[in-house]
Amino acid sequence: MDKLKTLWLYINNILGNNHHKKKWLIKNYINKELSMEDVGKLSNVTPQTIYKWLKKHNIKTRLKSFRTLKARQSRSKYMKTRIGKLHYQWKGGKTKTTEGYILIYKPNHPNHNYGKYVLEHRLVMEKHLGRYLKKEEIVHHKNGIKSDNRLINLKLFNNQRLHKKYKKEMKK
C-alpha cells in the first residue's frame, strides 16, 4: 500500500497536480486571487475538488460577490477606455431616439442623461437663451416633427401644465 501511495504522489507531481498542497493553494487562491475554477484548471481538477481541499486545509473561501466585484472592476477599466470617440461604434456623437428626437453627446453638460447625451432641441434653445434650461422647462416642436430643431420651429414653456394647455388649444 505504501508503494501505491508513493507512486500516486510521484504521478501527481509530474502532472502538476498540486491542488492538495496547502502552500500551493494559498499561493494561487489567496495571494494571486485566482478563482476556484482557475486554480482547478492549473491542476486539471474541478472547482469542487479545489473547494474540498480549501476546506480540508481550513483556508477561507471568498464570497461570489468578490468574483463579481473583480469582474466589474476589470470591465470598468476597459469601459473607461472605450467611451465617446474611443468606442468602436462612435458615429460622431449624434443619434436618434425611437421617438424621433435627436441626441447630441455632451458629457460635460449638467443635464445630460445616463449615456451623457442631451436632446438637440434643448441645446438649440439653451444657445438662443444663453443659459441652461431648467428641468421643468419644456421645448415644443411647433410642426410636430421631432427632428426639426430649427429655432423658428421651437417654443419654450415654463412647465408641463402650460405645454399641455397649449397642445389642447391647438387641437381645437
31: containing domain: 2-80
Are 61 and 118 in the same domain?
A: no
Are 165 and 98 in the same domain?
A: yes
User: Is residue 87, in this structure, part of any structural domain at all?
Assistant: no
Are 100 and 166 in the same domain?
A: yes
Q: Quick one: which of 134, 170, 147, 172 has its CA closest to 156?
A: 134
pLDDT band with cut points at 50, 70 and 90 for residue 156 = very high
Are 129 and 73 in the same domain?
A: no
Give residue-wise pLDDT tens across range 65-120. Answer: 555 556 666 666 555 666 677 777 777 888 888 999 999 999 899 998 877 899 99
Q: Mean of the pLDDT values across residues 118-124?
A: 95
With 90 as the cut, is the pLDDT of residue 27 above it? no
With 80 as the cut, is the pLDDT of residue 165 above it? yes
- The mean pLDDT of the chain is 81
User: Is residue 88, in this structure, part of any structural domain at all?
Assistant: no
Strand segments, DSSP code E, in the chain are 94-96, 102-105, 117-119, 138-141, 154-157
Is 0.75 surpassed by the pTM of this model? no
